[in-house]
Homo-oligomer: A and B are copies of this chain.
Amino acid sequence: MKPKAVVLTSGGLDSTTCIAVAIQQGFEVIGLTFDYGQRHRVELEAAERVRRHYDIQNHHLVQLSILQQLGGSALTDDIEIPKADSTLEITEDIPVTYVPARNLLFLSYATAVAEAVGATDLFIGVNALDYSGYPDCRPEFIHAFTQTANLATKAGVDGAPLTIHCPLLELTKAEIIRLGQSLGAPYHLTHSCYDPDENGRSCGHCDSCLLRLKGFNEAGTTDPIPYLGQGVA
């Protein structure tokens, strides 16, 4: 029997790559997706498409409505989503798209799921290079969380300790895309745009679209998803 791994999956390019990596490493994937009132709800549809593609039988969808109630982020509120449109500036500032303690909550849920299903491996697609503005994407956060989770659970007391895999942590977006493509990740099913139109087509101008398009460009390949203003997709 394959060992189980809980994989945080959002329907985006990074988490889909994580699924591909986990499968390649021989794990049975337990999927975990969060609905926190994100404006880009087509993400959830993408997560479901990816789940079906990989035939993941054990998948949890968790409502995190409190993140919406609490507000304070452009991803769940009416704060305008920044459109860079020129160069992608990675600054020391925390982006307005930051959601309070999001990865802390996501990983805590994943730890609970792992303990319940008997998994000792978690996969999360955090990336230290492209998202340096998010405090909860830093390697030191992941490291501290692992220690905390092992203190919080039976695993840390009398079982095998929990391991948090961050296979994308040190990769550029182009490297992530090359990795995923080498593993056959279904990028045509994924979604990244923060501000899609009513048909789920990506805007091509938000930070997330620009980062994605830049990645495909640098990887020397073409993004298979449709963008607004591309004419017929």
Contacts and interface: CB of A to CB of B under 8 A. Distances in A.
Nearest to A67: B112
Contacts of A71: 116
A156 interface: yes
A217 interface: no
A141 B152 contact: yes
Contacts of A67: 112
B116 A111 contact: no
A158 interface: yes
A49 B176 CA distance: 52
A138 to B, nearest CB: 7
Interface string A99-142: 01111110011011101110000000000000000011010110
A51 to B, nearest CB: 17
23 contacts: A60-B66, A63-B65, A66-B109, A66-B113, A72-B115, A100-B115, A100-B116, A100-B153, A101-B115, A101-B152, A102-B112, A103-B152, A104-B112, A105-B105, A105-B108, A105-B112, A108-B108, A135-B152, A135-B154, A136-B152, A140-B151, A144-B147, A144-B151
